[in-house]
């Protein structure tokens, strides 16, 4: 098995060499997208405080995963107040999202680069009593190092995508060795459990605990706050708003074109665009200008600014999209009209919004299936959103039925955070 880890480490080193010039270029341009490489190597780790209780390290990748673990952290803090929670992310946006969570965290750190010596140094410094990795975060050298130190490993909200399943099968003995180092694998669904069994996980390791993203612990937008947002943007009561969330290249153009066509019938219609990566805002603004309309940036709105006819509001800050969904008449989910795998539709579902997405929802197949089966969402398979938008804008009753159905899916699937917390505390108490 050593050969697999050696080959993987060589491959990772080559990828790091390839990536280094791009990283340096971004740093010279002042981009805040790339994290501080020194922090990921572990050169600036803080000195740990004296431990009050068990120290739990939770790793999430970026913004979505970071928000998803909020209910688990809250459960752990409520049931084990003396525990310390260390949260790690791999991206700068994930770090900023973690800082804005509004919950107590003892440390926010960058996850180490997956080289054995880096991971070992990180673990010696941080000294966690338990490590929770999220979804598909299987970092072989980190997992091997933690296992070598006798630190229990837990996979929370685990899932195995179609692409991951295909790729893992090519190195199944390697993946089996990685999986067998976990104390427990908490999977989102029975399909995910079957897939991880097929990759070599042991029967006693796997438990279906559900998807913690249904618990939506970060959403606290009340009617008053939503009203204040509408007033801030100059939206009158009942004014229709389309929110296109977490969009990717190749999607904004079709959304802008549909919006232009709808303006002739709905002159007060507002479009709010929230690109998945906010650093794309300037290029999207150029696209909007070329289409004959004007772009407004949220970050540049003054107190007296209002959205005018044919003006498109761009959300160019992190952490605002969930609140913006509360304003929507209709929500379009990005990442689904191109072969990307889709983005999470649960936030608009929580706010009882009718949802549209394209056919590429592979990363959220179970959730999107529940939403379409209950008619809480529509999958636009051909990508032509104009007729569906027009239909929904003219049919308030259908919009309301879709919104109630979407909210029903969220309510019916909540509780995973508590079940996950049960497993984490069981492992800690038994260690």
Distance CA 221, CA 219 (A): 6
Say if strands 130-134 and 153-158 run parallel, antiparallel, or are unpaired: parallel
Taking residue 156's Cβ as centre, other Cβ atoms within 10 Å add up to: 28
| Residue 427 tokens, joined | 């492992």
Distance CA 235, CA 304 (A): 13
Long-range contacts of 68-71 (CB under 8 A, 24+ apart): 68/134, 68/157, 68/212, 68/213, 69/134, 69/156, 69/157, 69/212, 70/101, 70/103, 70/217, 70/218, 71/212, 71/215, 71/216, 71/217, 71/417
Judge whether 65 counts as a catalytic residue.
yes
Long-range contacts of 381-389 (CB under 8 A, 24+ apart): 383/254, 383/337, 383/358, 383/359, 385/254, 385/255, 385/258, 385/332, 385/356, 386/257, 386/258, 386/261, 386/262, 388/356, 389/242, 389/258, 389/262, 389/330, 389/356
The structure tokens 């003995």 sit at 173
Residue of 266, 303, 261, 259 whose CA lies nearest to 284: 259
| Residue 58 tokens, joined | 């939770």
Say if strands 184-187 and 206-208 run parallel, antiparallel, or are unpaired: parallel
> Can you name the residues that pair with 355 across neighbouring β-strands?
331, 377
Q: Please state the φ and ψ torsions of residue 373, each to the nearest 5 degrees.
A: -65, -35
Q: What is the Cβ-side half-sphere exposure of residue 203, based on CA atoms within 13 angstroms?
A: 0
Asked if residue 35 lies in contact with residue 110, where contact means CB atoms within 8 angstroms, the answer is yes
List of residues 6+ apart from 243 with CB closer than 8 A: 272, 274, 324, 325, 327, 328, 330, 331, 332, 348
> Can you name the residues that pair with 379 across neighbouring β-strands?
357
Please identify which of the residues 65, 252, 347, 423 carries the catalytic annotation. 65
Asked if residue 360 lies in contact with residue 335, where contact means CB atoms within 8 angstroms, the answer is yes
Instruction: Tell me the Ramachandran region of residue 335: left when phi exceeds 0, alpha when psi lies from -120 to 50, beta otherwise.
Output: left
Taking residue 270's Cβ as centre, other Cβ atoms within 10 Å add up to: 23
The structure tokens 């049960």 sit at 422
Give the residue numbers annotated as catalytic, written as ranges: 65
């Amino acid at each position: 098995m050593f050969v697999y880890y050696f080959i993987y480490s060589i491959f990772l080193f080559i990828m790091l060499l390839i990536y280094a010039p791009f990283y340096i270029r971004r740093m010279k341009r002042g981009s805040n997208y790339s994290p501080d490489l020194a922090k990921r190597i572990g050169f600036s780790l803080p000195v740990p405080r004296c431990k009050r209780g068990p120290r739990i390290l939770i790793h999430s990748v970026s913004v979505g995963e970071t928000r998803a673990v909020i209910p688990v952290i809250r459960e752990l803090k409520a049931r084990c107040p003396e525990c310390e929670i260390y949260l790690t992310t791999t991206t700068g946006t994930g770090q900023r999202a973690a800082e804005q969570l509004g919950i107590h965290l003892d440390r926010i750190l960058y996850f180490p680069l997956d080289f054995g010596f880096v991971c070992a140094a990180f673990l010696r410094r941080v000294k966690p009593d338990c490590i929770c990795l999220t979804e598909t975060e299987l970092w072989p050298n980190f997992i091997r190092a933690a296992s070598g130190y006798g630190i229990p490993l837990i996979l929370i909200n685990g899932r195995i995508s179609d692409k991951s399943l295909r790729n893992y099968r090519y190195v199944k003995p390697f993946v089996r060795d990685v999986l067998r180092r976990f104390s427990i694998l908490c999977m989102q669904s029975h399909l995910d459990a079957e897939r991880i069994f097929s990759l070599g996980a042991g029967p006693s390791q796997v438990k279906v605990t559900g998807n913690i993203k249904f618990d939506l612990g970060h959403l606290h937008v009340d009617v008053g706050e939503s009203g204040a947002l509408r007033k801030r943007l100059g939206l009158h009561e009942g004014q229709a708003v389309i929110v296109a969330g977490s969009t990717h290249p190749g999607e904004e153009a079709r959304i802008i074109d549909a919006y232009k066509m709808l303006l002739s019938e709905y002159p007060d219609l507002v479009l709010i665009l929230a690109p998945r990566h906010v650093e794309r805002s300037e290029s999207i603004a150029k696209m909007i200008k070329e289409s004959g309309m004007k772009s407004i940036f949220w970050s540049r709105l003054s107190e007296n600014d209002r959205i005018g006819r044919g003006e498109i509001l761009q959300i160019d800050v992190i952490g605002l999209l969930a609140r913006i969904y509360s304003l929507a008449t209709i929500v379009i989910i990005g990442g689904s009209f191109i072969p990307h795998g889709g983005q999470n539709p649960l936030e608009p579902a929580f706010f009882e919004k009718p949802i549209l997405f394209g056919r590429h929802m592979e990363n959220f197949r179970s959730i999107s299936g529940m939403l379409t089966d209950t008619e809480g969402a529509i999958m636009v398979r051909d990508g032509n959103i104009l007729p569906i938008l027009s239909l929904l804008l003219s049919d308030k009753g259908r919009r309301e039925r879709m919104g109630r159905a979407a909210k029903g899916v969220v309510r019916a699937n909540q509780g995973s955070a508590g079940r996950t917390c049960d497993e984490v505390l069981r492992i800690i108490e038994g260690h």
